[in-house]
Amino acid sequence: MSVYVYAITKDSHPLDLNGVKGVGESPAELRTVHSGSLCAVVSEAPEELSVSRRDLEAHHGVLGHLWADGTILPLSFGFVAQDEDAVRTVLEERAEQFSQRLEEFTGRAEFNIKGLYDQDALLRAILETSEQARALNEATREGGGTYEDRLALGELVAQEVQTRQDAIAAEVLTALRPLAASEKVAEPSQQYFVNASFLVDSERADEFTRTAQELAERYGKDVELRLRGPLPPYSFA
């Protein structure tokens, strides 16, 4: 029977699974598959696994529960193995790699920071500081101006937005990098001008959090920095 795999850890982990439910409409009890000094936390895989809020929350709930008691390698949502023997084989074949990663994660946690810029405030700032943008905005107001004027305004605003967001993203990363052991930086998106995860030693967690909060206060209400953590090392496993 196929099994759903949540995480890999050492067999010395407390593995308190009582009352913890996994994915699926009628989730089965969690159990462990052992191989040497490693084990995987699994449950019977549901017949239908959907990327639903219920199952995502269940998956992350299991990982959070395990991580609170010790170091784990969290697996991404949706990892299903053919059976327990298949899980055991992977544990055996990659024992050295898994053990090394568990050592690297011991005493560390992931922190994720996302940055959003208030687009209306950003546009106002551009119009306040750029004479060219103001002139083009006046020329094209209420449908006026030429097509070239509107095109030039759009290009200028887009360039200014990119420049300002890149500058703040660079400041955020520069301030937080020295406090982390490792980082994973995603490409900027239309929603987030910065989206980065950091692996932080436990003794630096408070300093990391404080620095992120100070950055948020410095930029004011026009820039929102969302900090999540401490978390299991999702981005680094």
Local structure of residue 10 (DSSP, 8 states): E
What domain range includes position 228? 109-236
Domain count, the chain: 2
pLDDT at 149: 61
How many angstroms separate the CA atoms of 85 and 204, rounded?
40
Model-level pTM? 0.82
Residues whose CB is less than 8 angstroms from the CB of residue 50 and which lie 6 or more positions away in sequence, other chains included: none
The answer to whether residue 59 scores a pLDDT higher than 90 is yes
Q: Are residues 136 and 215 in the same domain?
A: yes
pLDDT at 204: 97
- CB count in 10 Å sphere of residue 126: 20
Q: Are residues 96 and 145 in the same domain?
A: no
pLDDT at 231: 93
Q: Are residues 113 and 229 in the same domain?
A: yes
Beta bridge partners of 74: 7
Q: Are residues 50 and 147 in the same domain?
A: no
How many angstroms separate the CA atoms of 152 and 139, rounded?
11
Per-residue pLDDT of 91-122, as tens digits, reads 999 999 999 999 999 999 999 999 988 777 76
Q: Which of 106, 138, 168 is the last residue of a domain?
A: 106
Q: Which of 106, 136, 166 is the last residue of a domain?
A: 106
pLDDT at 222: 81
Per-residue pLDDT of 134-182, as tens digits, reads 666 666 676 666 667 667 656 766 777 778 888 889 999 999 999 999 9
pLDDT at 184: 96
